[in-house]
Chain A
Amino acid sequence: MTAKNRLSLPQQYLFLQRSKTTLGDGSLDPNRLEWRFLAQPTPLSRTYRMTMVLERDGTPDVRVVGPDLRLLAGRRDLPHIYHDPDRLCLYLPGTGQWDDSKRLDLTIIPWTHLWLIFFEEWLLSGDWKGGGKHPGEDDPDEGNRALRRSLRRRR
């Protein structure tokens, strides 16, 4: 990962505060950024209360505060989630889709909305229409090694 365009936590925080498309507020410590926001992916959808936490040198941790996704899903396992605690899986690690040169307000925030609309549709159809990958899915791509490495870091 290159460090040349790396965005600091205060820079990320400023972008979030200035964004017209995410309404929220947050807090900033030297080592930790927290952003609380509301996400309604389409006018038909519920409004979800979200938190996003980014620690220094870490990866964004996105959670739904409410409504309770597990309650909505009933007995089904939630799709595209990191477990314990439940966090949204928004991008493929190690592929550069997100790294610390990418603005949260232009990546993680829109992806959260996408995740939520696919989640609501999944509640309906049982079929995740947003695409993506599950861990362990074999991928002959070069990125795979980086992916496995990144996964080990996460688990």
Chain B
Amino acid sequence: MNQIFSHPLPDTAIQRRAQVFTILEEFCQELEWTQTQFEKARTSYEAVADWLARSSDPLLASLHVYLHGSGALGTSIKPIGRDEFDVDLISFILGLCPDVAPARLKAAIGQRLREHAYYASILEEKKRCWRLNYAGDFHLDISPTMANPNCLNGGELVPDRKLRDWHATNPRAYRALFDERAALVPTLTQSIIAAQRDAATTEPFPVRQSVKGILRRTVQLLKRHRDQEFLHVQEEIAPISIIITTLAMRSYEMCVRRHVFADELQVLIDTIRLMPVFIERPLVDGRQIYAVWNETTQGENFAERWNDEPARVEAFYKWHGKALADFEALRDLVGLDAIVGSMKDSLGDQLVTRTINRRMDALNDGRKTGALMLGASVGLTTQKLAASTPVATNEFFGD
């Protein structure tokens, strides 16, 4: 196994980097759906699935609705400035031949939704799918698909953007592949120095193992970084989530299978660094195109639009370089103000502030309850360590 990181880290750096990763982890928790939101969305989409399944339209006789996209992968994030989540649903219709026109199938779904008074009132037509707007909570995007007879991997066909043709896709196999890769656990050299790690595990700033695994957090952080970076860009050139997710999962797999890392933060950074390796440049009809392939079916190129819109290519590489530099900076900066200030710039002020305020509240709670200690080499902590002294109550004074 190669070891990307070869110099041993000093204790202070180990502890600092563990804390940075922990803050990123806490930040991701702020980015996510709450359990309540999740339950609400699930109840709603199950009801929609049930409604669609009971359609009397013979076209929709056999239909299976399932969650796909970030909701299914566990990588959804709040959009900046809004609290609404996207929930992507596939309405997989069995027993159809590919000679059914995409527009016709989409219309059948729309018709069935309109038969329901409430759905009709929140229904919005999108290019390829139908959207149900649950204002303030989330919206459900419902895309019709059917089986792809040419895909040996159980793939499906989805209307293309112009509703003229069918387009290969495979959300279920994609999800299975993503889950498989997300479950890979990297080898960290830090496990060798467990004692130092324990010392880094201090309340009120506990070091958390990423509860969802590093890959999901990497995808969430990159999507958020993308949203922040393109917040004021008018053109539609921002890298799409499926490209970020696909490149990240392939890079993560390669990193984790081949390398040993100092810590979680380094896994995150190296995964980002190696993402462009998986952008392919095949020759198609004498033209060198860009391709980010869906590995789970034939012929789905997530970067298809890069070939007609070169601004997207440029936007990707520029954003990727910035993301790598920003996460490397988080790894190397020293000082709460410097680290968190950099996080605010690259990931958004409001949620980063909320994350840090929670930590300061925990600190002040510890002062009030007498649980706050000063520990040797770890600083302020609410954990009782062998070498620590309680922090007596005080009130700051002065101008």
Query: Are A130 and B200 within 8 A (Cβ)?
Result: no
Which one of A23, A89, A121 lies within 8 Å of B396 (CB-CB)?
A: A89
Which chain B residues lie closer than 8 Å to A120 at the CB level?
335-337
Query: Are A83 and B399 within 8 A (Cβ)?
Result: yes
Query: Are A132 and B396 within 8 A (Cβ)?
Result: yes
Chain B: residues with Cβ within 8 Å of the partner, total of 44
Query: Are B396 and A91 within 8 A (Cβ)?
Result: yes
- Check A44/B336 contact, CB under 8 A, given A83-B399, A114-B380, A131-B364: yes
Query: Are B379 and A106 within 8 A (Cβ)?
Result: no
- Check A40/B392 contact, CB under 8 A, given A113-B374, A120-B335, A121-B360: no
Q: Could you say which of B363, B376, B387 has the most chain A C-beta atoms within 10 Å of its C-beta? A: B363
A40 to B376, CA, bound (A): 10
Closest 8 A-B residue pairs measured CB to CB? A89-B398, A132-B396, A43-B15, A123-B337, A20-B387, A120-B336, A110-B391, A89-B397
- B64 at interface (Cβ–Cβ under 8 A)? no
- A35 at interface (Cβ–Cβ under 8 A)? no
Q: Could you say which of B12, B15, B336, B364 has the most chain A C-beta atoms within 10 Å of its C-beta? A: B336
Query: Are A45 and B335 within 8 A (Cβ)?
Result: yes
Q: Could you say which of B344, B357, B360, B399 has the most chain A C-beta atoms within 10 Å of its C-beta? A: B399
Nearest chain B CB to A50's CB is how many angstroms away? 13
A90 to B398, CA, bound (A): 8
A114 to B373, CA, bound (A): 10
Query: Are A43 and B379 within 8 A (Cβ)?
Result: yes
Which chain B residues lie closer than 8 Å to A134 at the CB level?
397-399
Q: Convert B96-134 into 0s and 1s, putting 1 for each residue whose CB lies closer than 8 angstroms to a CB of A.
A: 000000000000000000000000000000000000000
Which chain B residues lie closer than 8 Å to A138 at the CB level?
none
- Chain A, 21-50, CB within 8 A of any chain B CB: 21, 23, 40-47
**B interface residues, Cβ below 8 angstroms from A:** 12, 15-16, 18-20, 23, 200, 202, 205, 334-337, 339-341, 344, 353, 356-357, 360, 363-364, 367, 374-376, 378-380, 387-399
Contacts A46-B334, A129-B357 given; 9 further ones with Cβ under 8 A?
Answer: A43-B15, A44-B334, A82-B399, A97-B392, A107-B392, A107-B394, A110-B389, A113-B380, A134-B399
Which one of A42, A93, A121 lies within 8 Å of B380 (CB-CB)?
A: A42
- A92 at interface (Cβ–Cβ under 8 A)? yes
**A interface residues, Cβ below 8 angstroms from B:** 19-21, 23, 40-47, 72, 77, 79-83, 88-93, 95, 97-98, 102, 105-107, 109-111, 113-115, 117-118, 120-121, 123-125, 128-135
- Check A132/B395 contact, CB under 8 A, given A21-B387, A40-B12, A125-B353: yes
- Check A92/B353 contact, CB under 8 A, given A45-B336, A114-B380: no
Which chain B residues lie closer than 8 Å to A125 at the CB level?
353, 356
Query: Are B335 and A109 within 8 A (Cβ)?
Result: no
Which one of B334, B344, B395 lies within 8 Å of A91 (CB-CB)?
A: B395
Q: Could you say which of A47, A102, A114, A134 has the most chain B C-beta atoms within 10 Å of its C-beta? A: A114
Query: Are B399 and A42 within 8 A (Cβ)?
Result: no
Which chain A residues lie closer than 8 Å to B393 at the CB level?
97
Query: Are A124 and B356 within 8 A (Cβ)?
Result: yes
Which one of A42, A88, A131 lies within 8 Å of B379 (CB-CB)?
A: A42
Which one of A43, A47, A111 lies within 8 Å of B391 (CB-CB)?
A: A111
13 interchain pairs (CB within 8 A)?
A21-B387, A41-B379, A42-B205, A44-B16, A44-B339, A45-B379, A80-B398, A80-B399, A106-B392, A107-B394, A115-B396, A120-B337, A124-B340
- The closest CB in chain A to the CB of B334 belongs to A46
Nearest chain B CB to A112's CB is how many angstroms away? 9
